[in-house]
Amino acid sequence: MSPDTYGILLVSFSKHSHQRNFVPLYLRHPRVGIVAVTDDVDITSEQRALNRQWARDLDVPYVENVERGLELAGVDIVSIGCEIERRSDVAERAAAAGKHLWIDKFLGATVAECDSVVAAVAAAGVSAIVPSYAYGELVRRSRKVLDDGQLGELLGVHVDVMFSKGWPRPIPERDQNRPFLPAGRWKFPDIKRELLTVGSYAVGLVQACCGPIRQVYGHAGAFFFTEHAAHGAEDFGTLTMIDDSGRTASLCGGRIGVATDAMGGPSRAWLVGTEGTAVVDVRQPAIHTMVRSKIVETDYAPAADDPMQWASGPPLMGSPIHPDAGLAEGLEDLVRAIDEGRSPHYSVRQARDNMEILISGYRSIVEGAPVSLPQPA
């Protein structure tokens, strides 16, 4: 690699991470190059085999120890794609080694873990980014509308981000009234918490448009996914938020099933101002045609190792218009931040606040009352 190229160390290709989506970005960017794949020693044999396969496919070494990987010559950036339960620990170790960080959402499994990463990044003086929230088309277009000034002063925001993935079925009676679990466990054998997983993108837009959030009220439930109902997890949820200036923001985020939206699920924002209102919809222009029989009357069945269809599923009925996730812009921002010795525009502190909003939302759902922010340490 040339002297002005930053070397990237890939930490883990866990099942529910976006590491595999990041690799094409790294291969296309002229100023980054992949040095190696690494992971901790105490991982499953299946995870180790997957990591090794990616290393072979990329023609780079696989290093059987994160600490050894961090010591490799030419490593400048660490791309962290391990499970959420391990993410903060890996991020802290990488920051302490003086490496810049590209972190898959989320920083950690708790606000305390996120705080630890923020502190480690500040202490090490490195650049760090969680690119998933702030660089996508929905955020960029919404910010442009506000920056143009045509709406006047912003009064309120509503965001819908829903994924039409998964095979909806009637909830068994035994699971219909199962208690909703509080935040604390984010992954189950084959599912994730959907308000957290999908709603975080909507929270990112709220952060881009509003001031710091001071109160959160939430509601969520399992309505048509048996996998969620059996574990006390949600299909989707709603949050109502109030920022420090009294503006109201609301969102609906989660999973609505493969037969509900031909284009992969809604991704839109309503921006209400003193001089006007705008609707930003990254799926438009599009013609939505819902023909349920084209899905439910086929022989399609979910893959045995992917029952919630995170990486598989029947073909969409229309020609999908996938929203721009903004990852290329995020990578460019990180590279420039390293060049300029600054934090990326969406910092780990903002990613930490994103997690606090969501966890406070889960607490509100369980307690049935609004939760004030910031929460005491």
Sequence spans of domains, the chain: 6-126, 137-323+358-372
User: Among 4, 230, 235, 192, which residue's Cα sits nearest to residue 85?
Assistant: 192
Asked if pLDDT for residue 243 goes beyond 70, the answer is yes
Token pair recorded at residue 21:
């989506």
CA-CA distance, 341 to 178, in Å (whole number)? 50
Among 3.40.50.720, 3.40.50.970, 3.40.50.10540, 3.20.20.210, what is the CATH number of 6-126? 3.40.50.720
Residue found by looking up tokens 């600490």 in the block:
67
End-to-end C-alpha distance for the chain, whole angstroms: 44
Class of domain 137-323+358-372: alpha beta
pLDDT digit string (tens) for 317-366? 333 334 456 788 999 999 999 999 999 999 999 999 999 999 999 889 88
What is the reported pTM?
0.86
* Kind and range of the H or E run holding 202: helix 194-209
Is the pLDDT at 205 greater than 60? The verdict is yes
DSSP-derived pairing of the beta strands 213-221 and 371-372: antiparallel
Residue 192 confidence class, pLDDT cut points 50, 70, 90:
confident
Confidence category of residue 311, pLDDT binned at 50, 70, 90: low
CA distance 351 to 136: 15
Does an H or E element contain 336, and which?
A: helix 327-340
Angle at alpha carbon of residue 354, lines to 278 and 279, rounded to 5°: 10
CA distance 67 to 69: 5
